[in-house]
C-alpha cells in the first residue's frame, strides 16, 4: 500500500508555521522597548557599595576586613537628595607589596565581579565610578594594607 505524500506536506507546513511564529515572537520581544529602569535609592546604592567593598577585601586578603566607616547614614547633598558612604581596610599578610601594587591587585579583582570605570587614572590611588550601581570607590592602600572607601551618588531617599 502506498503512503500518501500529504502527511509529509502537513508536517513540513507545521514546521514552517512554528518557525514563522518563533520569528514573530523574537522580533516582537526585540522591538518592545524595556521599561525605563529607575535609579536606585540611596539606601539601595549604599547596600551595593557595602557589598562591593567587603567582597573586594574578602577576595584580596586572607584577613577579615575592618570597617572604618560603617555608613548607613543619609548625608544631605542638595535638592532633597542624600548619599551614603562606607569604608574598610584589610591587612596584607605579605608585608612586602607597595601600596600601588595593592591598589592594582584590588582593581584587577574588582573587574571580575563589578562594573567600574577609572575616573582618575594614574598616581598611586585609583578613583573608580559605576554608572549602573551609582557608586564610586577610592582604592587608597598604604604600607599597612588594603584600604578602600566609597560613596553613592546623590540619590533620592526612596
Domain segments of the chain as ranges:
1-33, 42-152
pLDDT at 28: 47
Mean per-residue pLDDT over the chain, rounded = 85
**CA–CA separation, 6 vs 66, rounded Å?**
76
pTM of the model: 0.77
Give the mean model confidence (pLDDT) for residues 14-36: 54
pLDDT at 38: 85
**CA–CA separation, 110 vs 122, rounded Å?**
17
C-alpha cell, 53? 567593598
Amino acid at each position: 500500500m502506498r503512503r500518501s505524500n500529504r502527511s509529509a506536506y502537513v508536517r513540513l507546513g507545521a514546521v514552517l508555521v512554528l518557525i514563522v511564529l518563533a520569528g514573530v515572537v523574537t522580533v516582537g520581544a526585540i522591538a518592545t522597548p524595556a521599561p525605563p529602569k529607575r535609579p536606585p535609592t540611596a539606601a539601595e546604592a549604599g547596600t551595593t557599595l557595602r557589598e562591593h567593598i567587603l567582597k573586594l577585601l574578602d577576595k584580596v586578603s586572607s584577613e577579615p576586613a575592618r570597617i572604618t566607616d560603617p555608613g548607613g547614614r543619609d548625608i544631605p547633598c542638595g535638592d532633597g537628595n542624600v548619599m551614603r558612604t562606607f569604608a574598610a581596610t584589610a591587612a596584607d599578610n605579605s608585608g612586602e607589596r607597595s601600596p600601588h601594587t595593592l591598589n592594582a591587585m584590588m582593581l584587577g579583582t574588582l573587574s571580575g565581579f563589578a562594573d567600574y570605570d577609572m575616573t582618575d587614572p594614574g598616581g598611586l590611588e585609583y578613583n573608580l565610578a559605576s554608572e549602573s550601581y551609582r557608586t564610586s570607590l577610592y582604592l587608597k592602600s598604604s604600607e599597612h594594607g588594603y584600604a578602600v572607601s566609597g560613596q553613592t551618588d546623590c540619590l533620592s531617599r526612596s
